[in-house]
Amino acid sequence: MSAGKILLAVFGFFVLVAVLIALWCFGSYNGLVTLQQATDAQWAQVQNVYQRRADLVPNLVSTVAGAANFEKSTLTAVTDARASVGRVQLPSGSAPTDPAQLAAFQQAQGQLGAALSRLLVVSENYPTLRATENFRDLQSQLEGTENRIAVERGRFNDAVQAYDTAIRRFPAVIIAGMFKFTDRPYFTAAPGSETAPKVQFDFSGKNS
């Protein structure tokens, strides 16, 4: 074999290797982008269900406020907690990358959830209020929303786990480092959060 043919073969080999490496880089990058987009899409779902709960608050507060002598401190706690949720600053269009931001969001949402639970517990002392169709409908919607929040948070954590695992695996970790794919934080579980807050009441009139 002539020297020219040898050089051509060597050149062809390196070109083939370069093409394979380029294809691997493109494939790894696109795979990481897909996983990152999945976390962002699931984060949007989380925000949607939390917003649904926030949207229920004004009508619920208005309905409960109509009950005679209802605890004003309970209503104030719900209103303040809803306002604090709106003050949490989060990145637009993507899931949080800062654990502190997600922790602040989770804390604010937890305070709203606790305030709503307290309001509904106090409502048990007002049988006339509990008998109204509007209150019962709002209670049912809130129960469904709390369940949905638990589901969507779980799905978000699953998406984050898949993404965070992918960016740590070799050799994809090389691409992740080159293009600055960073970890996404999880929702953390609070004591008792394995079950959605119980907001179902006995409307049979036993306590009336």
Residue 119's domain comprises: 3-178
Residue 149 belongs to some domain of the structure = yes
Question: Which phi-psi region, left, alpha or beta, contains residue 123 (left: φ > 0; alpha: ψ -120 to 50)?
Answer: alpha
Count: domains in the chain: 1
pLDDT tens for 134-155 read 999 999 999 999 999 999 999 9
Whether residue 82 lies inside any domain: the answer is yes
pLDDT at 203: 39
Of the candidate ranges 35-39, 48-52, 113-117, 197-201, the one whose mean pLDDT is the lowest: 197-201
Question: Measured between alpha carbons, how far is 96 from 37 in angstroms, rounded to an integer?
Answer: 12
Q: Is residue 205 included in any domain, yes or no?
A: no
Torsion of the alpha carbons at 116, 119, 124 and 129, rounded to the nearest 10:
-100
- What region, left, alpha or beta, does residue 93 occupy, with left being phi > 0 and alpha being psi -120 to 50 degrees? left
Confirm whether 188 is domain-assigned: no
The two counts, helices (H) then strands (E), for the chain are 6, 0
Residue 74 pLDDT grade (very low, low, confident, very high; cuts 50, 70, 90): very high
CATH at 40: 1.20.1440.20
Token pair 């509007």 in the structure block, residue: 134
187 lies in some domain: no
| Model confidence pLDDT, tens digit, residues 182-195 | 999 999 876 554 44
